[in-house]
Structure 1
Amino acid sequence: MARYIGSKCKQCRREGKKLFLKGERCFSAACSVEKRPYAPGQHGQAKKKLSEYGLQLREKQKAKRIYGVLEGKFRTYFEEADRKQGITGENLLRLLELRLDNVCYRIGLGRSRTEARQVVRHNLITVNGKRVNIPSYQVKVGDVIEVKEDAKSFERFKLTAEVTGSRIVPEWLEGDIENLRGTVKALPTREQIDTDIAETLIVELYSK
């Protein structure tokens, strides 16, 4: 499966702001976005005023990078969101939030979404007692997400819990980091999704 393996700091610099792709480590004062607040590359320091299309494109790219989704899958999410009842942009964010790797990140089973995705891919997560190793798996209300029993003693989870134990879990989830478990209490509303994304720009881009 294709995935981005380049520098995460370059992704943040390209968008001009912290995307917290490294989780808690992004709170470090040594962030490259603060040191070099311009896009990477030869012409990164050239000041350019973005067109309307440019703003829409950058917002889509930012959302893809935050959630770690490639173009094909992201468009599939948009098409599904557009078919659903309700506001397309909010539907899109809800689909992204309900990804298994994102939920694992939200409840503290990974210090970053990348680490949470790795945990899922390594067959360390169960949903309702059944092992699931697909990061894009869509969780549902009532699902119980948990580190499998024989992996709970792994040193990686002890270290992760020390870092993420103080993380605020969204209201639509119930986190139990002590037992490496979480429950989906409800579908997330737009107000409960704290990701800095202007979803209306993404809808406008795909609606052209």
Structure 2
Amino acid sequence: MSRYRGPRLRVTRRLGDLPGLTRKSARKAYPPGQHGQARKKKSEYALRLEEKQKLRYNYGLTERQLRNYVQKARRKTGSTGQVLLQLMEMRLDNTVFRLGLAPTIPAARQLVNHGHITINGKVLDIASYQVRTGDEIGVRDRDASRKLVEENLQYPGLSNIPAHLDFNKNKLVCKVTGVIDREWVALQINELMVVEYYSRLV
């Protein structure tokens, strides 16, 4: 299954605000489709599926990638839901987005894939790279890269930078000082429902 490339506002109308997917807001407050305005009581499965879809679309993952992340979170100590969110947030593309270097996570992924971002002084074009404590994220020392990032910094997707990222805007360098806390996760989601959804499948 490939990554979703369809209309993003359609997804936000269905699932609610997804800060990583788009900065636009839907004009219509009800879900898309012929029966969008007909409110129906959702089953327990539908609620869990909706929370899973929020996570998947916000971070731009395929179904297989998300399932692998859930399995990885289960193997680690601590609350599976919180560990899962930490794995999502510590991806390189999401970290670039949270620094304001790109307006959305898809834009941040493109920035990484095109070789504009460095990790510890080396160009890294793998968007799923897990950022670790002590890593130094920077912008490639090229005029094109710096100009692109400086333009994005004027209109960041999210205004607040998480506490675990020590960002120097003048030098365009960020030091990762730890792992993100749950309170800094911008996506409004019930991660326990995502874990429950996969408990029957994984």
TM superposition score normalised by structure 2: 0.91
Show structure 1 runs of 4+ deviating over 4 A: 151-154
Shift of 1:190: 1.8
CA displacement, residues 42-71 of structure 1 (integer Å, 9 cap, x when unaligned): 222221111011100000000111111111
Number of residue-to-residue matches in the alignment: 200
The CA RMSD measured in Å over matched residues stands at 1.9
Which residue of 2 is the match for residue 112 of structure 1? 104
Instruction: Verify the 8 A CA contact 1:12 1:18 in the aligned structure 2.
Output: yes
**Pick aligned residue for 1:125 from 94, 117, 139:** 117
Instruction: Verify the 8 A CA contact 1:152 1:180 in the aligned structure 2.
Output: no
Which residue of 2 is the match for residue 72 of structure 1? 64
Secondary structure, counterpart of 2:174 in structure 1? strand
Equivalents in 1 of 2:29, 2:157: separation in Å?
31
Equivalents in 1 of 2:82, 2:157: separation in Å?
29
Amino acid aligned to 2:60: G
Which residue of 1 is the match for residue 91 of structure 2? 99
Shift of 1:36: 1.3
Which residue of 2 is the match for residue 63 of structure 1? 55
Secondary structure, counterpart of 1:187 in structure 2? coil
- Does 86-95 or 41-50 show the bigger shift? 41-50
Which residue of 1 is the match for residue 19 of structure 2? 20
Amino acid aligned to 1:9: L
- Does 162-171 or 109-118 show the bigger shift? 162-171
Structure 1: segments with no counterpart, 5+ residues: none
Shift of 1:195: 2.2
The equivalences for 1:1-208 within 5 A come to 2-15=2-15, 17-21=16-20, 25-26=23-24, 31-32=25-26, 35-151=27-143, 154-164=146-156, 167-208=159-200
Identity of aligned pairs, percent? 41
Instruction: Verify the 8 A CA contact 1:101 1:117 in the aligned structure 2.
Output: yes
Shift of 1:120: 0.3
Greater share of helix:
1
Structure 2: segments with no counterpart, 5+ residues: none
User: Do the aligned partners of residues 20 and 192 (structure 1) sit closer, same or farther apart at CA in structure 2, a change above 3 Å counting?
Assistant: closer
Instruction: Verify the 8 A CA contact 1:111 1:163 in the aligned structure 2.
Output: yes
Equivalents in 1 of 2:144, 2:135: separation in Å?
19
Equivalents in 2 of 1:92, 1:166: separation in Å?
21
User: Do the aligned partners of residues 81 and 176 (structure 1) sit closer, same or farther apart at CA in structure 2, a change above 3 Å counting?
Assistant: same
**Higher RCO by CA contacts (8 Å cutoff, separation 6 or greater):** 2
CA displacement, residues 122-176 of structure 1 (integer Å, 9 cap, x when unaligned): 0111100111111111010010111111146653222112113982110011122
Amino acid aligned to 1:19: L
